[in-house]
Structure 1
């Protein structure tokens, strides 16, 4: 397109003062070779436009291409053929072949994209570059020998293109086709039956190329074969595929690559001649080969934008008729020889400052004929302007607003669009646009921070000022007067206004109640800043209040539990070693952090030299060997302190019984009687329990004796044991729950005797999960009854098994 034409087109588009972007796209499909004036499609109907709109909007076709094939009839709203379209000349072998252009309308400005696909018709027959080709083939050539043939060219594509080959006659040779990476097929003539020079010295074959059109079209090439005497060594290329690259715009005569083959024969049979057996369509007339040196040189001009790769099949033959072939792949390296082209499709000269971000200001079409990095275009704008470039469709860009405009700061913008490619060296082009800004009121208050956080210590005084939020408004006078409002919300179902308040003038936030860290640790709310404009503008900010903990809760002892009527104790055997775990004090603190860090100390003890308490874990252990002189009753007072400032504490009393047997503990009940209150309810339950146990014991005893007598009478065997019952007391009442020191509340007593043993055992055991003694002064009578029942057990030959709870 000439400079004058482009300037005229730009001046026409600049007449539009307002822009309305309504993008649409439609596609048509037409065959090639249609006569001028033929109908392509009803554009007005397909886009839903009225013909009057086409006239009022001065509808026109926009395309940067130099040749136009389509014209727009505004009277009818249809697209017509303007010039004859030859698909092969327009696109070559590229499929699909299509024309792309835009239809521009003004007032408001709109553009629509149109794609017209050009379909192929079978108007070209296949053709060979040569009418005939000659081969010299030795009669000693083995079956399977391959000979590369020139492939036919058919400019048509798809089913109209070249489909297959036929070889006549087929007495000695057949045809094989091999698909190539570029979609073409290499043609090989393969020797199927050996040649006999004595029968046929010359062979004449016809190779026919057939396309798939209707009707079919063909092309032929004659193959003349001279049968030679035996030549037992064929040329061999050093490699089957050669690869080379050449820069576009390289001068004619440039050597691209040199192929080499060797032949082990001597004389004429070893003399190698190089030739091009077949070549891709885009390489015809571009390369030539030196038949002696094997060099492939540049014969014509190379343009990367037209062809990026070439394929050449090279044949090496000796005078004996044996040949070898190789493939040469030549890649064209792109040179950055095209600068980006900028086309202004439409633009606005004035825009309001309240235009929303994303408002289209100008539509631009940018193209770079190069490819790869050389064809990658980046467009930039001059700094400090609220506009950006956005890609809308392929090479089409829109200049849009990126943020809100402010005429009080800038009333006019000179926008320079600079487009550069990534080539080395980079090529660039630019255009400058002028845009006026019309004024509106558009400034809202802005907080100094995006969010606020404040801390307040629990147990605060209601009405305490926590902190201040601050917002500023860039407007003037009444529009800049800011008021602060607490947004309605709730905290744990309670309105936030019962927690805090906000001063409308100063933005000071005050506490409306005293906070408790153990009840609520943090909460958030929103504050709105509203100016005095009409209509008013406002903005919100999130405020988070974090409650800080105070040491306002003492530790709470979970174990041992202090009861009012009983003395909860632990039992330590006199055989306990140093470090024996007696019990463990467990406490918690509902405060957090270091206010909840607990330490344990032994405050008072009957014998401080006997026990110690773990500072961190509250474990009570012996610090020396227990002796017989140590009193049975040991009373320990443990204090639990937290790490707060000031520290808070709690105390717990632990009673420890130092004894090897339960009877020894019970003998000391009189000592406990002096310190504990009498509990009538507990005595009643103990007496009732012992009565029930006694009844069950006697019942079991009678049943066991009856069973034993019955068995004795049946077996006639009776064995009496006169040895008295030897009571056995466990030496230690140690903790069975992993060393936690938790004594169990119930003991189990088990008495066992047998008739077939000279030894009788009376075992007092305990359940695996219970070892706490409930000691009450009122249990003296109960212990006497237990002693009387024990006398019954001392009677010899009493087979019984009793378990007491």
Structure 2
């Protein structure tokens, strides 16, 4: 039967504290941020497993959902857990068989206490279950029989102590009365000690007559007060002795002594003394414990001759604080007297505190505020007084503190802000010390790991990274590797590298470079050209995987290095396809005469743009030389009449790159004092009539393909062309080569102070020619064009350099 102990009003009895500490406890619970309570149930012993003790949810006004969400559980410091919590029903039930006698012995009331803990928010409820006794044990005697030897001269009223019966039950179910079987000589007298335990004495009410009845057989019956009543019996055998008619008498009815627990064996306790008025052997007294089979016989011993009581076994204050012994003194005639010895046990500090964890969280976030509860610790000390007063502290320095909430309960909380990047794990040593002398202590280590939060952004080791790459690189080549560090861990430290958007020369930066999102390797997305782009500056962002993500930027400067990928370009002398350019040198020219100057450039930079000039081929190598650095062509000896008029020079221009690149220019030099002499030498060159006819043909063919509508117009144009061409053939039926002449002094210092322009006209039937001399011109190159009237005109072009070694001499006809 389950019984909840009610208050006067009939409500469930809740106890937070007693007396003036009631309000102090409420205030303490309020500042500690969790709720506590105390409830008490009462059930009989020997209930079946699973029997309900009480509806804990209803009694504590808790919702079943709260029990589940709060992970309600029972915490008990005992080795056997007698109760269990059924969270789905909110019922407290019997888990193990409960034997009140085994649990509490003769202690009343008998109860056990445990705690129920709920989390989020944390609640602590203390539950006490009182176990009521049922009459399941009969009174028993330790022996089957007792033997007495009593002198026939024993005086009326002589008392004889009988062994006590033991009944493990308590209260009404415990030992109630003793009964002695009917006889003529003895009556039974019952007594109770200070603890309320009953014992019996057999009192002689009528003198014994050994001759009438030498032996008496009696029965002692012990009964309890239960329903149904139970009993136990022991036989009493009395042998009647003769002569000795005086019993020993103790000089004190009660002896008191104090002994310290854990005293070694044979430690002196006290001495009892009884005297006998008889003489001789009848006056010899021996001492013994009245209840020889009592457990006290294992703890104490009495010298049967001297009456000295000493320690025999291990005395523990935590088991019993006081012992009560009954000592008998017996003479040789069998007469006895009884006395009581009360031994009080003095406590010593022999038990260290015991720490047990009620609730503990091994992981805590680094952003937890100060005061966050990590665990609840229960501390117990079995000693009493100051020896049992315990204080807790944290050993060493750590951002944690421990404080007391309830008696024997301590809360472990954070004392300051945590930083996982500084300390990621703590081993907290909690020390519990009592107030004994010397003090005893116990330690327990708690391992707490600090969980990471994303509170650190990735950081680069440099604010600006610089890298070099040679132009004409292969797309996809690695340029450099960026590395950022994040002191966070796991996903919060996983770094992604992102190329920040920016336009370079109108194009996205991603068209130039790319970044590996995981490794930070910067790759070239295209082949770079130093002549177009000499430096590339862009930004890379490092972003972690936290929520929200944190990031930082770094500037990357990519410097493109030049490669010798451009050959020199000759600016002067200008060479055009189909035209012949010639320099004129008089035969009177001295050594060092400046013929012309080769001007070239290289779009590369550095040593790749350093140019040198060499004479590769020459009609007469002994006549001309080229300046290695300036490209000037000068005579190296005196020009003679034997020198050929037509001189052909091939000059190679090389840069200083590795490998070097070069360009070639062909310079035609005419060694002559007069222009007719030059004309006679160069007049045998073929004209370009075939070139013009082919050009016309291809133009006609191209236009015909484009559109049929142009055919008619094209025919008209061709007809007009043919007509004009025939008219010009009638007027001028000859061909005349044109020899361009470039005075060297126009680009540098030379020996020719003036520029000459010539117009040459020749007929088809005569070797005579008309030469028009025009002085004072400022131009420097002469070209004959067949579409003109024979006038040499200036061409001033510095592009389309002809690199072929054998350019045809341009010959055009005037008709």
TM-score by length of 1: 0.46
TM-score by length of 2: 0.46
Structure 1 or 2, whichever has the larger Rg, is: 2
